Structure 1
Amino acid sequence: MKKNLLMGGLLPALVLGSCGVAGAQPAAMDTLTAIEQNPETVNQAKAANEPVTQESLQEMRRQLEEQLQQAQELQNRLNAQLGSLEKRMKKVEKRSWEPQVDIHGYGRLRWDKHNFSDFNGTDRKSVWLNLFVNHRINDRWSLHSEHEFENDLSSNTGAYKEHGKSRPVLQLYAQGRVGDVNVKLGRFYLQSPYKFTYDEKVNGWQVNYGIPTKWGRKAEFTLSSGVSTSQTFHGDTENTKNVWDQYYENTQMLSLMGVIPVAKNTNISAHYGRMTMRDIHLERKTWSMGFDTKLNRDLKLTAGIAKSDSETLNKSHFIQLQYKEARPDVPGSYDFYIKKYLQRGHTGMSNWFNDDIVDVTRGDDTPQLDEKSNGLNRWDYRAGEFNGIRIGLDYVPVRNTKLLLHYTYGKLGIFDPDNHGGNHDGEKKDYSFLRTQLEMYF
């Protein structure tokens, strides 16, 4: 009787009690089936009148351990299947929340005012709309494009009509991963650390690799190559094609940059770049190094130096101190900064000057300058360097907007009008630049 109770009630109860997790019911049913299909167990159950011995108890214990092991194996297999199903469900949820095509962008209302010591200032009011379209191909690859539309509100014309062209498609590239390496192919925007030496589009390729550090941020290394536009050969004595040409669109560029965290709130950045005029094989190399660090919670210091292998105008530097940070997703946030810098034209890989600084021969408002020249020839006022200060303020009045205001003042170093390239003649001309801009993100 005791043996019948043990085999018919205690054994299944023990099995069911030991499997009270996911997969318990299938395991218990398989255990009962195994008992019923085991002739030896059934014969022992029928032999109710036989005395319970030590041997029979050991045999029952062995059979129970085997059945428990089978139940555990069934449970493990079921848990693995549930884990795989959960991963697939997460992928489905991710795809459902991340649409195949994503469109976002921003608009800008801008007012610029440049003043030169020998020329009346020019006002330029313009409106811009930039649309970004992202198309997800799969979990690794996607297509990206940027489309820009602009209008000069002062003359109701396209902002680039002076150059005889427009720029409706700024970027169009494929982005993906090959192993642990991020890859770009097509026309993409490249910016050197702090926009110090390069700020232009590239038709080519890019690879990026990140190495984790103990500071919680990756050390990023980026190699890029392709065809780009450069102004760095302007006023270069080795430019045998045309020493005063300002824009070269047929230049081959190579760029290697790295941003390395060296402390909790400090990064060191370095950049090597090479621009080559492909038709005459004139080559320029530029090196830059800088750092940014948080002095405290709200105060950030950034600085950098640059040098090229040009014989003239080949060194630049800057230092900037910023308080707070304006974030478009945080209404009421703001920042204030002051920047001191010396920029010389032959250190930049792409732009003659950064930060939208211009001389009287550059920019979209040169026709207006000709009208206000008072008989002066603006080509006699080519500038090879800028030395000055910028004071700026950014403010977020409401979410997804930013109000930008900055004022720049300094001296433009002027080329010798009779010098066919090379250094400037030592003359310094006053220059100031005021920008007011409202950005709206969507």
Structure 2
Amino acid sequence: MKKKLLMGGLLPALVMSTCGVAGAQPAAMDTLTAMEQNPDAGSQMGASTEPVTQESLQEMRRQLEEQLQQAQELQNRLNAQLGSLEKRMKKVEKRSWEPPIEIHGYGRLRWDKQNFDHFSNYKAADEKTVWLNLFTKYRINDTWSIHSEHEFVNNLSTNHGAYEGDGGNDAPGGKRYSRPVLQLYTEGRIGGLNVKLGRYYLQSPYKFTFDEKIDGWQASYGIPTKWGRKANFTVNAGKTYSKNMYADMDYGNNNERWDIPGGSTDARVLSLISEIPVAKNTNITSHFGRITWQGQGNHWQRKTWSFGFDTKLNRDLKLTAAIAKSDSQTLNKSHVIQLQYKEARPDIPGSFDIYVKKYLQRGHTGMTNWFNDDIVCVTDSDFVGDVDANNPGNPWDHRYAEFNGLRIGADFVPVRNTKLLLHYTFGKMGLMDWAGNGRTNGKRDDYSFFRAQWEMYF
């Protein structure tokens, strides 16, 4: 009778209902209790019409309890295996998608041809260089990371490079171009602020008034806008490593340069930057910069303001423009405007761009060096020694104060992760008149600059 009852459907039904879900166990036990209290209920549920005894129900209870215990043990083992598998999967995903150390970079083969019409027979510099820039990122946790950039350059024209010392321009034969640790900083978040701390590149909008590394800190805060891009406000403070700044008549000692060889702990920078989307494809930018230098018993300071915008006129045409002004009494206004067609992206083979840029760049509107965007004042360029070597007995002895001209350029991506860059800059350089307290002397020299560069990313 017991066998018939178990086979008749009661036991399989109870086992299936209890083994599948742990939460069904109380219900199964309640069913057995009810059957013990009402033995006639078993004959209604099973296929057999034989009466159910107390002994058969107790045996059924014992067997069900054993099966429930086995099912619970199996479930515990499965849960433990699933937990272990989940931990291993997380480790694999972290190793696959979030490695603690990332390394990438790019190489450049570059040819620069400068032409300065200072003398009718003056031989300008012709520089062929190879560059390698390595970037590293070490992820401390989900919030903080450490970044570095290492730059190695070799001048193929003179075989300078690879770092022999820190002599700078005045070191004969020194491999003066390499900077093994160009950037080294930590980056993370504090609340809603993005923070940098260490040596890093500070660039004003469009690299117009400041484009140099500093030792200091940066705090940036972004506010979402309806255009899908954040309005960013950034504060930077630190010490600049610009080569030099120039004095002017404001300080009564315009014949002096703000010499900062290799960087100076006395050259301090404050920078406030805003980049605000005002339409779907339009941004407005501003920059306030102040640089202060204390040295040789002097206290010199310059403040610079710049305002600009960039907008897409249509899908392929982009317009960028900016103006700058400083508190200097001379050479204190500059402007730049650029029109660009298409965009060369290294991840899209066949992409390209063509652009034309108009400059009026004056020395005292820049916070670093004389000019930006690779426009060169020979006196303080890295290759002034090469220029003098090309003109024995006729050393370079003038300093430019402004540039007014055009740049025409094109970029092309022949294969993925490469770019070919070509541009030609030409215009007039204005010479500084020392006797005129930092103004130009009215003389304008022809200037041209051609660059061909092949970039490879990895």
Q: Go from structure 1 to structure 2 and tell me whether the alpha carbon gap of 1:226 and 1:161 turns closer, same or farther (over 3 Å shift).
A: closer
1:116 Cα deviation from its structure 2 partner: 1.2
Matches within 5 A, 1:229-268: 229-230=241-242, 233-239=245-251, 243-245=255-257, 247-248=259-260, 249-250=263-264, 251-268=267-284
* Native 8 Å contact 2:183 2:199 kept in 1: yes
1: CA distance, partners of 2:86 / 2:344: 40
What amino acid is the match of 2:272?
L
- Gaps (5+ residues) in structure 1? 1-7, 17-23, 50-81
Please report how far the alpha carbon of residue 272 of structure 1 lies from its aligned counterpart in structure 2 after TM superposition.
Answer: 1.0
d(CA) in 2 for partners of 1:95, 1:213: 35
Report the alpha carbon displacement of residue 239 of structure 1 after superposing the two structures with TM.
4.5
**In structure 2, what is the equivalent of residue 349 of structure 1?**
367
TM-fit CA distance, 1:138: 1.4
In structure 1, which of residues 367, 380, 399 is the aligned counterpart of residue 385 of structure 2?
A: 367
Q: State whether structure 2 residue 169 is matched by structure 1 residue 162.
A: yes
Aligned equivalents of 1:161 and 1:263: distance in 2?
A: 46
The equivalences for 1:20-419 within 5 A come to 27=21, 29-37=22-30, 41=34, 46=39, 48=41, 93-119=93-119, 120=122, 121-158=124-161, 162-164=169-171, 165=176, 166-230=178-242, 233-239=245-251, 243-245=255-257, 247-248=259-260, 249-250=263-264, 251-279=267-295, 280-373=298-391, 378-379=396-397, 381-419=398-436
Distance in 2 (alpha carbons) for counterparts of 1:369 and 1:346: 25
- Aligned residue among 419, 438, 441 for 2:454: 438
Query: Given residue 101 of structure 1, which amino acid in structure 2 is its aligned partner?
Result: I
* 1:98 shift after superposition: 2.2
**Aligned-partner Cα distance in 1 for 2:221–2:287:** 15
Do 2:319 and 2:340's aligned partners in 1 also have CA atoms closer than 8 Å?
yes
Cα deviations by residue, 1:284-309 (Å, 9 ceiling, x for unpaired) = 11111111111111100000011111
Structure 2 unaligned segments of length 5 or more: list them.
Answer: 1-9, 43-81
Number of residues paired by the alignment?
A: 402
The answer to whether the 8 A contact 1:36-1:42 is kept is no
SS of structure 1 residue aligned to 2:374? coil
Q: Distance in 2 between matches of 1:410 and 1:314?
A: 19
Structure 1 pair 46–237 and aligned structure 2 pair: CA distance change class (3 A): farther
Please tell me whether the aligned partners of residues 232 and 347 of structure 1 are also in contact (alpha carbons under 8 angstroms): no
- C-alpha displacement at 1:37, in angstroms? 4.4
Once the two structures are aligned, what percentage of the paired residues are identical?
60
- Secondary structure class of the residue paired with 1:368: helix
CA distance in 2: counterparts of 1:393 and 1:327, whole angstroms: 12
Going from structure 1 to structure 2, the CA distance change for 1:429 and 1:33 (only over 3 Å counts) comes to same
SS in structure 2 opposite 1:233? strand
Read off the aligned partner of 1:31 and give its amino acid letter.
Answer: A
Distance 1:235 1:276, change over 3 A: closer
Question: Are residues 416 and 376 of structure 1, via their aligned partners in 2, closer, same or farther at CA, if it must alter by over 3 Å?
Answer: farther
Q: SS of the residue aligned with 1:281? A: strand
Distance (whole Å) between structure 2 residues aligned to residue 288 and residue 152 of structure 1? 35
Residues 219 and 12 of structure 1, relative CA distance in 2, 3 Å threshold? farther
In structure 2, do the counterparts of structure 1 residues 91 and 385 end up closer, same or farther at CA, with 3 Å as the change threshold?
A: farther
Q: Secondary structure at the match of 2:246?
A: coil
> Can you list the C-alpha shifts for 1:381-424, whole angstroms capped at 9, x where unaligned?
211111100000111111111111100001111111434x4211
Alpha-carbon shift at residue 201 of structure 1 (Å): 0.5
* Distance in 2 between residues matched to 1:368 and 1:137, nearest whole Å: 45
For the aligned residue pairs, the C-alpha RMSD in angstroms reads 3.5
**Pairwise CA distance, 1:215:** 1.1
Partner of residue 439, structure 2:
423
Q: Residues of 1 paired with 2:388 and 2:90: CA distance?
A: 63
Specify the alignment match of 2:54 in structure 1: none
Q: Residue type matched to 1:36 in 2? A: M
Deviation digits for residues 324-369 of structure 1 (CA, Å, limit 9, x no counterpart): 1111111111100000010111111113101111133131221232
**Do the aligned partners of 1:321 and 1:337 also contact (CA within 8 Å) in 2?**
yes
- What is the alpha-carbon distance in structure 1 between the residues aligned to residue 301 and residue 88 of structure 2? 53
